[in-house]
Chains A and B, each alone.
Chain A
């Protein structure tokens, strides 16, 4: 008997179940979503991110977002994702910003040396200050991971109240992507004497630009 058959047989014998026997239906998941106004969501997102030492800018227009990003970059080298919203803001056109990369090895090389990674985000979760990153041709995983600074630019309309609303909208993330990542603040560790150190592997600095 191979290991799979052996283990499943052990499990069934122990539980008194037979092969192919279904599990009783679970009650549907209750995802209560509080009514929170857009303004309150924005305020919560800002408060939560700042509590985690993130920086947040709120601007009115895509052009203003571009200006904030340009100023923040201060001529540092950056790599931008292929997100349509970044294009809408004109961010890939900024000086020293590489964009439009579709090859993994090339992206890896660029991300490994860039000072800043610029992405959009599919959603923001207001009650925890979280960015929701769905991997796709528009958003690579490494841009929000390898460079020491991560800038995320997203419209205010993408702010959800929290996890419950996200799981209500995306009941099955695996059907659309190989990777959904929630990012809540800068990379951190407290492994040495419980002392907080930021940026141990992922970006130590996180800047979110909310547009609209």
Chain B
């Protein structure tokens, strides 16, 4: 396990306040979800999951078809589609458009995709001001941190942390009441919205048959981002495409329920193209950037491809016993929890992140809550096997291989097994085992006390 990963984990485990914050917040989201998917509230829940899975499968298995359909429909409504391979291409596009339109100020609504490519930093590096407008994201931007959780980005911050951040970032008097903190952010950001030249949003869905993007949110900042400035740029991963507008009847019922336990989020915006003839407001220019950034690497393998079905609801994080202990920042990239454990190694290359597929107990809670039925444990196992194969090729896990060979030999030789077992039990009794690699293993686990008699002994005494 890489040092940094281990260090983050230990720091999080040792921080009692943080432990409580993660546990409470994820617990609340978990309960909220359960309340709105139960049999008596939504009897068709399982059927909706099956349909959502089938629709995502159709979209991903024929991705080129739906992307082209999406593009031609966006263009039919006067919008533009730009394909980008990576963050550099996205930044280049936004920067050159900003230059052409003499734009200085950009407002942004929450987007995990733009977090992937550090868009704000890239734009600010070239002298543009790019302001996050989701309350949690705004707080984190002021604190120079990345999101802790897919739907609750500032989950790890208390109101006292937020007071410090706002006081420092905005030169405002210290206030620890969340309502006042939100009001302060609202008034600062409202001025930004009204002055902004460009609004950048993400997209929860790209609707192929309509050339539309769908944004799901609670605050109204995504609506302001896509309405107030004259230019709207939506940035989305290529996997966000779904075939038809009517398919939203399936996805919208699942997304808010799985994410926050709401029946629907406060605002669902279905946007296609710039404002039409006669419409009073809305942007004059509408661009959709379709980003690859490693996604096409996930396509060749039929099993792993399903990782791209994810609709970023965060339910797997809340359900995961590992995430609930080690938190979001222990994970090396923007995606945390079970979905992060399968997305990050695949985006970055398994050799880059070999520890992540093992950061799971394979309990299956993630697969159970996933609204689009991604079999996360199966993908984890598949990735683990790749890690093992590549390490074996480089001769890295010789000790482990040796240990398993020895274990295999013991299992085939009952007499040796019995003697070995008795030996190990007496060693454990005097705690001699607590050395070397075993010590590291035992640092987070308790070894059950060895029994006085082995099963074999008891069997003989019968």
Q: What residues make up the interface of A, taking CB atoms closer than 8 Å to B?
A: 2-4, 6-8, 10-12, 14-15, 17, 19, 21-24, 26, 29, 31, 48, 82, 101-104, 107-108, 112, 127-128, 130, 135-137, 140-142, 145-146, 163-164, 167, 170-175, 177-195, 197, 199-203
Contact = CB atoms under 8 A, between A and B. Distances in A.
Given A14-B300, A188-B218, A190-B152, A181 B270 contact: yes
B258 interface: no
Contact of A194 (B28, B133, B162, B209): B28
Contacts of A170: 245
Interface string B33-51: 0000000000000000000
B83 A135 contact: no
Given A8-B68, A171-B245, A181 B268 contact: yes
Interface in B206-230: 207, 209-212, 218-221, 223-224, 227-228
B67 A8 contact: yes
A27 to B, nearest CB: 9
B24 interface: yes
B278 interface: yes
9 closest cross-chain pairs (CB), A and B = A202-B220, A14-B299, A191-B136, A23-B62, A201-B220, A174-B272, A174-B210, A140-B280, A4-B83
Nearest to A4: B83
B223 A141 contact: yes
B247 interface: yes
Contacts of B266: 183-188, 202
Contact of B224 (A7, A10, A145, A164): A145
Contact of B246 (A6, A14, A104, A171): A171
Interface residues of B, number: 92
26 contacts: A3-B83, A3-B84, A10-B292, A10-B296, A15-B64, A17-B62, A23-B58, A24-B58, A107-B280, A107-B281, A141-B227, A170-B245, A171-B246, A172-B209, A173-B210, A174-B212, A174-B245, A175-B210, A182-B269, A189-B218, A192-B135, A193-B158, A193-B178, A195-B178, A201-B223, A202-B223
A102 B65 CA distance: 40
A96 B249 CA distance: 40
B298 to A, nearest CB: 8
A183 B124 CA distance: 33
Contact of A7 (B58, B189, B290): B290
A178 B158 CA distance: 39
| Interface secondary structure of A, over-half rule | loop
Given A137-B279, A189-B219, A12 B249 contact: no
B152 A108 contact: no
